[in-house]
Amino acid sequence: MTTWRDCLVAGNVHSAGAQEDYTAAARYLRRREPALYTAIRLVGWDEYQPHAVAGYAFASFTDDLCDYGSPPERALRLDAWRREVTGALESGTAPHPLLRAYVGSVREREMPHRWVHAYLDGAGVDLDFQGFADEADHQAYIDRLSWPFAMITADLVHRGGGSEHYARCCRLLADLWQRTDFLVDLHQDLRGGRLYLPEDALAHHGVTRGDLESRSSSGRVRALVHATADTGLALARRAFCVLEEMPGPMRPLVRFMIHLARLRLERVRSIGAGITRRPVGDRPVACLRLLSAARSETRRARARRARPDGEEEDGSGSCPAGPPPSGPATAKSDAMAGTRAAAPVGTSPDPARDPAHDPARGPSAATEALRRALAEETAARWPTHAEGMDAIHHYALIPSGKLLRPLLLCHSALALGAELDQVLPAAVGFECAHVGSLVHDDILDEDAVRRGRPAVHTAYGPGKALLAGNALLFTWFRGLAECAERGVDRRRITDALSVQARAGVEICRGMVDELAMAGDLGCGTDAYLDMARRKTAVLLAAACRVGAILADAPPDVQDRLSAYGEALGIAFQIRDDLIPYLAPGDGDGKPAASDVRNGRPTYPVLLALESADGATRSAIRQALTDRTDPAAARLRMGELLSAAGALAAARTAAEGYGTRARQALHGLPESPHLSALRLLTRPLPAARRAGPGAPATSWEPGAGRAPAPRHGDGAPEPRQGAGRAPEYPH
């Protein structure tokens, strides 16, 4: 850990007197908030640490002035402090060392004074606090006190102050931390005669203030505590969505604080009504794990900044020693490029940083930003310390794959003007549905490996794996309920539920169809494509349609995006069938010989059986039924399929479905998100050969140069039906 003196120098605090002031602030904060001080020292960037310490010490000292004495005494004390602070901001000096340190940071960082004045004006809100009547009162409290409290430190990161967009993100974090404190401190507040839970929330659960003051352990009190904690946990999930809005120096610290709030809320939930009788303590081991993870993130960020270009890898961090980026280039802001949330209110997107203005990297940047946001959301829901069923889900979901289905939902919704925060739970739900189906697939196929490691049923046993897969499918629907909590209209939620329910039934039908096809080499390509539509393409189509529904798109737009998803799904299924023969290392770790071992016909196999001569068909049947050496049988099968022209024909069919998917997008409004959808349909120019005679090229979405749209794409028309879930990590 860097010494405090070196941090002072890095933060441009050089004079002996100023260093003494900042050291006094550090000592005060270490006594007042030891956990926060430790986190800043372990996780904060060197040049930001002195300013963070000065900001939090100033805010905490001001808060302490309002915590003792009679209300009139506190009011007089606060008024005198307000005048002293105002004078110090104007003159640049003050008699109090904590105030001198903070004023020094304000001047060094060229921070506007508006948040300082807002905090001082709102600091008296607790002097005559009478409680909250409803949620509106709580939000007014956040606006008057909690938000400015956060901003007087957070605004120091941006030289000259942050944007309004950044400030709104900080408000969400302030709401989370304040709600958490209200619950964690309930025992202490009740002893002091204060209650920070809204009266209408108490009434909704049939709880009175007397119940809380008498430390009642009734089911009603427990339900109130659970509901209030759940509201905070929902805020924590939203907070992870805006985490990437934080500049580099703050991001590891803010991530730690979000995780800490979540841990405390989960602790509150587990204690239940007991929080009225005893303090809610932190779990030291869990906190140390969080600090260790945040410390590692800080080290990685510093290493990235040490590169020759001097910037973070994603360009989103801002070094306090220099000016901040002209606009946010972060997971959520990049993901929202081209929508109403792409830039701060009252400004226009910066063409130099808006992916919409960069045809070469815009779609990829939007996809990567979404992928980071989705991975953060998933990690927040299933943390590393999860237990029981959640531990199995963590194993199945993390590390994330390519997240194709949630990306399709997000790109579809954001291309039509939706807000990422409102659709993110539904997107995570689609990943749960996909992974749940893979868990079931591996049990049915007896495949021991998935994504390069033991499959879930191998690691936990088939019984637990089956139940975990079922739970993931239920989580798919829970995501829509959370979208409603985030403000999505109930009618849209109902429509989306209908789409998901129908898709779920179709997926199960497809799985039954696939089981029936095992060993049936005469089923034909038409029946196979029916199955492929049900078991694979339906879920992709549903993701696109649900995204459009949540964006309140008209039915014709929903139909076009659904058609895109279906065509893309069949293209992916055919591509997946080709991987064992053209690029066996491109899968997700599931054995490449799985289809051969299970005697399962795939699209290129069925094409060859329909067109090859008798001798070739006999050799194919023999290779497919050879159980002695599946790997050798797969290599032999690749040679036979290549000689019969089936691999090239299957690749052409996949490209045809890719073209059909692109054509379904024609006429939709252009944006980086629409371009990202189009990008998924592009063919890959070349792939490594898997054996003698393998074609020189293969189709893979998401790479290469898109061919010009063609008429008569050659894709066979499927009837009603979806193939095996792709055996690579979408």
Q: H/E/C letters for each residue in 691-711?
A: CCCCCCCCCCCCCCCCCCCCC
270 and 181 inside one domain: yes
Chain centroid to CA 445: how far? 31
Using left for φ > 0, alpha for ψ between -120 and 50, and beta otherwise, residue 112 falls in beta
Give the integer Cα–Cα distance in Å for 212 and 231.
Answer: 19
Nearest to 559 by CA among 476, 665, 678: 665
Alpha-carbon distances of 538 from 55, 106, 219, 227, 545, rounded to whole Å: 53, 56, 43, 35, 10
**Is residue 235 in some structural domain?**
yes
Is 240 within 8 Å of 376 (Cβ atoms)?
yes
**Is residue 636 in some structural domain?**
yes
Question: Could you list the residue range(s) of the whole structural domain that residue 76 is in?
Answer: 1-129+137-153
Chain centroid to CA 373: how far? 3
Alpha helix positions (H), 398-537:
404-415, 420-445, 456-460, 462-485, 490-517, 524-532
Give the helix/strand (H/E) hosting 403: none
Residue 136, C-beta contacts closer than 8 angstroms, at least 6 positions apart: none
**Is residue 722 in some structural domain?**
no
389 and 420 inside one domain: yes
Residue 35, C-beta contacts closer than 8 angstroms, at least 6 positions apart: 260, 282, 287
Token pair, residue 363, equals 């779609």
Give the helix/strand (H/E) hosting 233: helix 219-241
pLDDT the model gives residue 562: 97
Give the integer Cα–Cα distance in Å for 237 and 377.
Answer: 6
Q: Among 634, 655, 679, identify where a domain stops.
A: 679
593 and 474 inside one domain: yes
204 and 183 inside one domain: yes
Which residue in the block uniquely carries the two structure tokens 């001798």?
Answer: 615
Cβ neighbours around 310 below 10 Å, total:
10
Give the integer Cα–Cα distance in Å for 521 and 541.
Answer: 28
Nearest to 109 by CA among 34, 171, 55: 55
Q: Among 638, 653, 679, identify where a domain stops.
A: 679
Burial (0-12, 13-18, 19+ Cβ within 10 Å), 445: buried
304 and 416 inside one domain: no
Is 109 within 8 Å of 156 (Cβ atoms)?
yes
Using left for φ > 0, alpha for ψ between -120 and 50, and beta otherwise, residue 524 falls in left
pLDDT the model gives residue 628: 66
Give the integer Cα–Cα distance in Å for 270 and 325.
Answer: 42
Q: Among 266, 290, 309, identify where a domain stops.
A: 309
**Is residue 205 in some structural domain?**
yes
Residue 73, C-beta contacts closer than 8 angstroms, at least 6 positions apart: none
Give the integer Cα–Cα distance in Å for 338 and 333.
Answer: 10
pLDDT the model gives residue 21: 95
114 and 201 inside one domain: no
Nearest to 339 by CA among 405, 254, 420, 439: 420
Is 658 within 8 Å of 566 (Cβ atoms)?
no
Q: Structurally, how many domains does the chain consist of?
A: 3
511 and 653 inside one domain: yes
Burial (0-12, 13-18, 19+ Cβ within 10 Å), 317: buried
Phi, psi of 668 (to 5 degrees): -80, 150
pLDDT the model gives residue 709: 33
458 and 547 inside one domain: yes
Residue 482, C-beta contacts closer than 8 angstroms, at least 6 positions apart: 234, 237, 425, 426
Give the integer Cα–Cα distance in Å for 317 and 45.
Answer: 11
pLDDT the model gives residue 595: 61
Q: Strand, coil or helix: what is 620?
A: helix
Residue 472, C-beta contacts closer than 8 angstroms, at least 6 positions apart: 393, 396, 432, 433, 435, 436, 439
**Is residue 367 in some structural domain?**
yes
**Is residue 547 in some structural domain?**
yes
Cβ neighbours around 135 below 10 Å, total:
12
Residue 469, C-beta contacts closer than 8 angstroms, at least 6 positions apart: 436, 437, 439, 440, 443, 456
Give the integer Cα–Cα distance in Å for 302 and 296.
Answer: 10
Residue 290, C-beta contacts closer than 8 angstroms, at least 6 positions apart: 256, 259, 260, 263
**Cα-Cα end-to-end distance for the chain:** 39
**Is residue 321 in some structural domain?**
no
93 and 172 inside one domain: no
**Is residue 271 in some structural domain?**
yes
Burial (0-12, 13-18, 19+ Cβ within 10 Å), 692: exposed
123 and 272 inside one domain: no
Give the integer Cα–Cα distance in Å for 189 and 590.
Answer: 55
Which residue in the block uniquely carries the two structure tokens 């199955």?
Answer: 531
pLDDT the model gives residue 336: 39
Alpha helix positions (H), 92-146:
97-108, 114-122, 135-141
Token pair, residue 141, equals 């409290």
Which residue in the block uniquely carries the two structure tokens 């393409």?
Answer: 537
pLDDT the model gives residue 475: 93
Is 1 within 8 Å of 30 (Cβ atoms)?
no
Average pLDDT for runs of 10 along the chain of length 730: 90 93 94 87 88 93 82 88 93 91 92 91 84 92 92 83 84 93 92 91 93 90 92 86 74 86 88 88 76 77 61 36 31 38 30 34 76 86 81 90 94 91 93 94 87 89 94 94 86 95 94 86 89 95 97 93 97 90 56 59 90 85 73 82 91 94 93 92 53 35 33 42 31
171 and 149 inside one domain: no
Instruction: Count CA within 13 A, CB hemisphere, residue 350.
Output: 10
| pTM attached to this predicted model | 0.53
CATH code: domain of residue 599: 1.10.600.10
Is 630 within 8 Å of 526 (Cβ atoms)?
no
Alpha-carbon distances of 316 from 308, 313, 472, rounded to whole Å: 16, 8, 33
382 and 305 inside one domain: no
pLDDT the model gives residue 706: 33
Is 507 within 8 Å of 725 (Cβ atoms)?
no
